[in-house]
Structure 1
Amino acid sequence: MKIDVIIPVYRPGKEFCELLERLSHQTLPVNRILLMNTRTEVDVEALAAPFPGAEVVNLEQADFDHGGTRDWGAGLSDGDYLLFLTQDALPADAYLVEHLAAAFRDPTVKAAYARQLPKADCRETERYTRSFNYPEESRVKTEADLETLGIKTFFCSDVCAMYERVTYVKQGGFVKRTIFNEDMIYAGGLIKSGYAIAYVAEARVYHSHNYSGLQQFHRNFDLAVSQVDHPEIFAGIRSEGEGIRLVKKTAAHCLEIRKPWLIPGLIWQSGWKYLGYKLGQNYRKLPRGLVLRFTMNRAYWNGWED
């Protein structure tokens, strides 16, 4: 089993070398680590040099795309499986790759993603969100789950996800130009093609962010844009109800742990999320100037007119 790792890199922080170190000590060794590096003042070649198998592929900032850059990396691989990670996702132990690979013993599974654990500095409400989106129980999702899970059937995060390469190529890979959400777009195509996606709770990475309300707004704006731009995947799939359920359960959690003062912050964050999402759903009705203010990926809109 040959497994290649693909990591988009942009001004890597202190976790980056720790990530490479942990990848080099997996019980199931990886073959190559392809670092798709957007050129900055950071010398990524020097950071990667101590790690065997790490290869740096340089690109310009204008050429970066969430789907296209990852697909470029996939095209450089001849491995059996492709493991995509973000530069700030830290394997929790030496068994990450082994656990993800084990999911493919089920021949219907063509993608597997890991559980994301909160980092030490994670806020309480975000910590609960991690447990909501990444529970302790593994499961395999198929098209039969659409009625009960809705859009979560397509959930698969490239923070840490593995794909069978032959099927990846057969399906056309990641969409070559997308503002965001390349993982769910691809996963939705898998599900609709009759394949399965595995959530592997035993495969764990540390990954969380303490986003501000405005940052949540920008992310959810782009998330909604990606869904609008791909009706072949998302049209007719219920989505907003899952967000409402998360808010209600997080508020109940705050009461359960006797920290009701966290609820106003939760409402504030959720309001920004909802506003960003609704505006993103209607981005075609907005003037270009507003779209550029609302997005977190301005380069995506080059060449787009009102």
Structure 2
Amino acid sequence: MEKSTCFQTRTAVKDLYRIKPHPLQGSATNTFVWLIPEVKTGRAGRLTIFRLAQYLAYRGIRNQFLVFSRDADADEQTKKSIICQDYRFIPNARVRHVGPDDDLDELFSALQGDILFATHFGSQLTGLMAQHFNRRILLLQDREGLFDSYGWQGLISDSGALDDFYEYLYAGPWLESHNTEIKHQTFPLGSDYLYPYLLRNLVTSMNVSDDEEAVQIAVYSGPSTPRRATELIWITLTFLAEKHSPCRVIIHNYGDALPDRSLPFETRNHGPLPYDRMLELLCDCDFAISFNATNYSLLPLEALACGTQAIEVDTEANRRRLEDAGVAFISPLPSIAVHQLSEMIQAYLDNGRRHPALSETVMQERDWTECFEPVANFLSVPAFHQNQAARPTLSVCLPTYNAGPQFELLLESLKQQKLQTFELCVIDSSSTDDTVARVRAAFPDVKFRQIGPQEFSHGGTRNQLVDMATGERVLFLTQDALLADNLLLRTMVDTTLEENIAQAFCRHAAYPHHSEFIKRDLVDTFNNLRRDMAWPMGELDLSHNPRLLCFSSNNCCIYRRDLLQRIPFQPVNYGEDQLWTREVMKAGFLKAYIHSTAVIHSHDYEPEETYQRAETDAAYWKLVQNYKAPKSWIDLQGMNKRDTAFAKERGLSDHVLAKRLAVNEAMVAGRKAGLQATKVPYQQGQKTEA
């Protein structure tokens, strides 16, 4: 039998005759199957799919993804890793790659579940071959027939020929308005709440803007995607710079490259940004412009959550879904749009550089986790409480000492956690500020113990916290790590459900007031972990790379409590987490790294403290872990060359670069001293901060 290739979006018309709808004959298995096109990092349409799948998984649904791709050599484990590490962690997800040589008739004859989800036009056609399901549903996020020249896809899609075989799930009211006769459900688009909330408060409290006079405008560029209408934005900004700007304006471009022509305004090009860096940029700017000519864009909502005025092109679709959200609109005609934009900037300046404030309650209601309740009702999935009984219980354990005012944000990020109950256990090393009062006010039921400062050690104090805890899982935090995801606790617990995983830690994102070098270094560090750590990491070969194999981070790390009781932390003041990881991996257990959730945690040390910490770190890895440091550890010339080029690329000041070069010198000197040391500088019993 000829093998069908009709799964491709641009299906050959000659293949259409092979697709014949099958009657549905499903069973109640709580399994949803998703037909999705190629999975790559950084596509907003995919993000909504995987957010919904994660939400449904928390309601007891088992998700299976069929990823259709022309890549015959695609690795199914790689596809699953992209979904769970770069988008959202979906517990118990199954992923299958479908290539051009796969027999779809054979595939669909064996495929079964409760609901089959198509996610774009090509998969909608292919989904007609499925029969062992109760329902077929198309998750419609845009009018795909408008993406390119209107052709056969648009004709078939708009004809209603497929409506008898599908129910529809619409992202936003504009799509619903085009077809209300068929069975459907609409859900509102949502954004993150917690991460922007933390960034807004950090930016306000630390005043991180690098230019108080200029108005900063973030511009999303997507010239390769016509519906983004990027050229209209740049023409409007050119008019603004030439004739109508009421003040100095700095443009921050992110996404695709800048237009290939000179632009008459100051521009900083950020290129493609990771999600957290994009939110940070939006928080730093006064306005955020992103045009979308059809239905779908999350960017205006993300900008509003960051406290930044979002500006969209004035279309019927954008008005229908964004007018009540506080988004401002400008004409698609640059000659009109430039006056509208100029007036917005002037009004902003006249109002003391303040936008109309949205209430925290409104922004919380727009969190994406709140937007899928109508979908859950439409799909008749179980309630959350029906899926909690068999889950491991959780204790969050936190050592504290003079945590300072920023500690309030950590406590708030804990209070904002969803779908995961927990007990809080705190050991305080006799704080002299209001740390204890803040904890008791935020969590009246906290399990609390106070010790003298001289009694603290990183390993020993954490063992005491384990003794206080009753949860089957123990998650350690440090007082300077802010939970940047309101599903972080739930995600961390889910990672330990897989057999034999002893611990899991997550990504770190930098504080917004820390230097661009620190931000780059953190991104590089955790991107390297994302690349190099298999899921999960298990085979222990210390001769290969002990820093990778033993790496862990008690800034935010979850453990099985039964293992902590069997193998307690060593009572040391440095590296207790790395030592524990080595021991449990020797015993045959696994560890996991989760890239798709994060804490805000970074350090921007002065040269003196950099030297001390580099010396300790180098001595620890040499003497305790038998690590042979690479030459790059002490290559000062190479480090300075890289950082000088980075400073030039990002337009960083001479002062910022000079500090970095001084830090590099201190780091190399400290590492050299540590590699010559005969003992680790931090000794048991030495007082250190919690």
Q: Could you say which TM-score interval applies, normalised by the shorter chain? A: 0.7 to 0.9
Relative contact order, higher structure (CA 8 A, sep 6+): 1
Alignment of 1:279-294 (within 5 A): 279-284=673-678
Q: Does 1:3 align with 2:394?
A: yes
Matches of 2:673 and 2:685, distance apart in 1:
19
Aligned partner letter, 1:32: E
- Preserved contact between residue 179 and residue 225 of structure 1 (Cα < 8 Å): no
Higher helix share: 1
Q: 1:199 aligns with which of 593, 603, 613?
A: 593
Which entry has the higher C-alpha Rg, 1 or 2? 2
Q: Does 1:175 align with 2:570?
A: yes
- Preserved contact between residue 404 and residue 435 of structure 2 (Cα < 8 Å): no
Change (3 A) 1:107 1:239: farther
Q: Does 1:18 align with 2:409?
A: yes
Q: CA deviation at 1:184?
A: 1.0
Q: CA deviation at 1:188?
A: 1.8
Matches of 1:298 and 1:266, distance apart in 2:
32
Matches of 1:297 and 1:216, distance apart in 2:
18
Q: CA deviation at 1:259?
A: 4.8
Q: CA deviation at 1:134?
A: 1.8
Q: Does 1:84 align with 2:476?
A: yes
Alignment of 1:221-240 (within 5 A): 221-227=615-621, 230=624, 234-235=625-626, 237-240=627-630
Q: 1:100 aligns with which of 480, 488, 492?
A: 492
Aligned partner letter, 1:204: A
1:46-98 Cα offsets, whole Å, 9 max, x none, are 21222144222101011110111111111221211110111011111211111
Q: CA deviation at 1:238?
A: 3.3
Change (3 A) 1:257 1:116: same
Matches of 1:83 and 1:105, distance apart in 2:
14
More displaced 10-residue stretch of structure 1: 122-131 or 36-45 = 36-45
1:145-180 Cα offsets, whole Å, 9 max, x none, are 75654412211111111111112222x22101x131
Matches of 1:111 and 1:251, distance apart in 2:
38
Matches of 1:251 and 1:134, distance apart in 2:
22
Alignment of 1:1-306 (within 5 A): 1-50=392-441, 51-135=443-527, 137=530, 139=533, 140-143=536-539, 149-170=545-566, 172-176=567-571, 178-227=572-621, 230=624, 234-235=625-626, 237-240=627-630, 243=633, 247=639, 253-254=646-647, 256-257=649-650, 259=652, 265-284=659-678, 299-300=685-686
Normalising to structure 1: TM-score of the pair?
Answer: 0.82
Unaligned runs of 5+ in 2: 1-391
Matches of 2:632 and 2:492, distance apart in 1:
26
Change (3 A) 1:47 1:94: same
Q: CA deviation at 1:263?
A: 5.6
Unaligned runs of 5+ in 1: 286-290, 302-306
More displaced 10-residue stretch of structure 1: 262-271 or 27-36 = 262-271
Q: CA deviation at 1:197?
A: 1.6
Matches of 2:530 and 2:547, distance apart in 1:
19
Matches of 2:601 and 2:546, distance apart in 1:
25
Change (3 A) 1:253 1:169: farther
- Preserved contact between residue 213 and residue 268 of structure 1 (Cα < 8 Å): yes
Aligned to 2:365: none
Aligned partner letter, 1:209: H
Matches of 1:56 and 1:33, distance apart in 2:
8
State the identity as a percent: 23
Q: CA deviation at 1:8?
A: 1.1
Q: CA deviation at 1:241?
A: 5.1
Matches of 1:180 and 1:30, distance apart in 2:
31
Aligned partner letter, 1:114: C
Q: CA deviation at 1:282?
A: 3.5
Change (3 A) 1:185 1:28: farther
Aligned residues: 287
More displaced 10-residue stretch of structure 1: 219-228 or 56-65 = 219-228
Aligned partner letter, 2:537: K
Normalising to structure 2: TM-score of the pair?
Answer: 0.38
Matches of 2:553 and 2:642, distance apart in 1:
22
Aligned to 1:304: none
Matches of 2:660 and 2:630, distance apart in 1:
17
* Stretches (4+) displaced over 6 A: none
Matches of 2:628 and 2:445, distance apart in 1:
42
Q: CA deviation at 1:192?
A: 2.4
Alignment RMSD: 2.9
1:169-226 Cα offsets, whole Å, 9 max, x none, are 22x22101x1311111111222222222211112211111210111111112222343
Matches of 1:250 and 1:27, distance apart in 2:
40
Matches of 1:244 and 1:150, distance apart in 2:
19
Aligned partner letter, 2:573: I
Change (3 A) 1:239 1:197: farther
